[in-house]
Amino acid sequence: MHQHIEKLYQSAAKPRRKIIGLMSGTSLDGLDVALCSIRGEGLATEVNIEHFTTVPYTEEYQQRVRAVFAKREVDLQTVTVLHPWIGITHGNMVRHCLAQWQVLPEEIDVIASHGQTVFHCPLRQHQDARWGNATLQLGDGDHLAVTAGITTISDFRQKHIAAGGEGAPLAVYGDYLLFSSITENRIMLNIGGIANLTWLPKSRDAQAVFSTDIGPGNTLMDAFIQQQGQGQLYDKNAQLALQGQVSQPLLVALQQDPFFSLSFPKTTGPEVFNLSYLANAQRRSNTQLLSAADVMATLNRFSADNIIRAIEQSCGTEPCVIYASGGGIHNPLLMAHLRTVFTRHDIKTTEALAINPDAKEAVLFALLANECLVGGKQPFSNVREGIPAVTMGKISFAD
Ligand SMILES: Nc1ncnc2c1ncn2[C@@H]1O[C@H](COP(=O)(O)OP(=O)(O)OP(=O)(O)O)[C@@H](O)[C@H]1O
Ligand SMILES: CC(=O)N[C@H]1[C@@H]2OC[C@@H](O2)[C@@H](O)[C@@H]1O[C@H](C)C(=O)O
């Protein structure tokens, strides 16, 4: 047996594994690094986050990725060089975190790396019958493994597409294992660049659960404030939005996109929800002269309203507890609006379930890697479109 396979076999046989989950999201704020200690598999999985940090990206990193991010036309050489470079950069960030945490690379069983999504285009979005669902994450697993000196499992989304899904959201695979409950219906709401949710009915019926993207979480608000040129990356504590008024005509125009009438589960990204999308909505609603504060207040409400509708559609008349995560939970205006509307649902964060809300997506990829190593057959069924019962991730050895 090859020594790498033997080492993997030993990792799989342990009662507990140390897995580093890495997530680099659409906000391009930094690399989320979660060192998880994971016991068991499937519904018996237990996770303890031993260390977590977000390593902020340098301006250079952001500029290099933005050169291709969510763009239909790019320089192919830039895409090609970015793929290994992001892998190496993430590998160095892991090494740096381990040194700070005084953990040796040998103590880690595997790294689970999401990579950087640069383009996401499900068929329902590109609508070109010649092609199927597609998504592209850069940050090659071999380069990451060699740089960090740790076996790496990466590129989780391709198998999902190969087996009939849209490549996202993958949250359901982790949320179901970790958070489904027999005592309460749960909505796991993640407000990242794109907002998504997982519906976990207390029946715990694997055929009833699903994850879906909702629409923009922070991505339009971030893009808009960045366009103002004051050097702000996001509307911190909703300072700008709080000074403005919601424009109903703009809000109505923003809501007019075919994505919103698609059935669940569905996926989207900044390829659709970007500054051109906003400019089009402003043109159609004749609101080009709105102040920046009014536009921001409207974008904030747009995100909140989409979340409210998606939650109502998911749980119907059933009461449920909403467990929120992602950077949007730090946006006080958005969260206040959710709380005002959802008087019949409790709104908490995943902190109440012992998972740091900023770390949740990185933990998800650690869980997917754990399932790749020791999990059995996924409980989901191909019958439910969008949630194929597959094992995800590609394995790269360090030497
Ligand atoms: N104090 C705050 N006030 C307002 N917004 C905030 C605050 N802190 C974070 N955010 C928002 O959260 C964003 C980062 O969220 P997060 O890290 O969850 O996104 P992501 O993981 O990149 O996205 P995705 O889940 O779509 O991949 C920031 O860009 C900002 O919009
Ligand atoms: C293609 C892609 O990277 N999608 C991300 C993105 O960020 C949020 C939302 O859009 C979600 O669909 C997904 O990430 C999470 C981790 C998921 O797959 O569940």
186-217 tens-digit pLDDT? 999 999 999 999 999 999 998 899 999 999 99
What is the band of 384 on the pLDDT scale with cuts at 50, 70, 90? Answer: low
Task: Write out the H or E segment, with its range, that includes residue 50.
Answer: strand 46-56
First to last CA, the chain: 16
Contact 217, 236 (CB under 8 A): no
> In the predicted model, is pLDDT for residue 243 greater than 70?
yes
The string of pLDDT tens digits covering residues 115-152 is: 999 999 999 999 999 999 999 999 999 999 999 999 99
Q: Which domains does the chain have, with CATH numbers?
A: 3-167+359-396 (3.30.420.40), 171-353 (3.30.420.40)
What is the band of 318 on the pLDDT scale with cuts at 50, 70, 90? Answer: confident
* Closest atom, ligand 2, to C-alpha of 171: 19
> What tokens does 275 get?
């500054």
Mean pLDDT on 17-41 = 96
Report pLDDT for 364: 98
Q: Is 26 flagged in the annotation as binding? A: yes
The string of pLDDT tens digits covering residues 334-369 is: 999 999 998 888 999 999 999 999 999 999 999 999
Nearest to 179 by CA among 386, 32, 321, 388: 321
Q: What is the dihedral of CA 70, 75, 79, 82, to 10 degrees?
A: -110
Residue among 121, 170, 194, 361 to mutate when testing ligand 2 (max atoms within 8 A of CB): 194
Rounded Cα–Cα distance for residues 125 and 258 (Å): 9
What is the band of 382 on the pLDDT scale with cuts at 50, 70, 90? Answer: low
Ligand 1 neighbourhood includes 125 CB (under 6 angstroms): no
Report pLDDT for 345: 86
Rounded Cα–Cα distance for residues 331 and 241 (Å): 10
Nearest to 110 by CA among 384, 388, 378, 371: 371
Whole-Å CA distances, 363 to 57, 62, 170, 175, 318: 20, 23, 12, 10, 28
Rounded to 10°, the helix 171-179/360-374 angle is 90
* Closest atom, ligand 2, to C-alpha of 167: 1
Q: Which amino acid is at 119?
A: F
Please count the other Cβ atoms lying within 10 Å of the Cβ belonging to residue 369.
30
> In the predicted model, is pLDDT for residue 385 greater than 80?
no
Report pLDDT for 336: 97
Query: What value, to the nearest 5°, has the Cα angle with vertex 297 and ends 245 and 189?
Result: 140
Contact 73, 113 (CB under 8 A): no
Among the bound ligands, name the one nearest to the CA of residue 120: 2
Half-sphere exposure of 345 (CA within 13 A, CB side): 28
> What tokens does 80 get?
């090609």
Give ipTM to 2 decimals: 0.97
Report pLDDT for 317: 86
> In the predicted model, is pLDDT for residue 90 greater than 90?
yes
Sign of CA dihedral 355, 360, 366, 370: positive
In the chain, the largest separation of any two C-alpha atoms, in whole Å, equals 68
Please give the residue that has the higher pLDDT: either 385 or 374.
374
Nearest to 326 by CA among 26, 116, 36: 26
> In the predicted model, is pLDDT for residue 383 greater than 60?
no
Report pLDDT for 316: 86
Ligand 2 neighbourhood includes 135 CB (under 6 angstroms): yes
Rounded Cα–Cα distance for residues 219 and 284 (Å): 21
Among the bound ligands, name the one nearest to the CA of residue 213: 2
The string of pLDDT tens digits covering residues 48-78 is: 999 999 999 999 999 999 999 999 999 999 9
> What tokens does 391 get?
């094992």
Contact 299, 221 (CB under 8 A): yes
Q: Which residue's CA is minimally distant from atom 16 of ligand 2? A: 361
Q: Is 28 flagged in the annotation as binding? A: yes
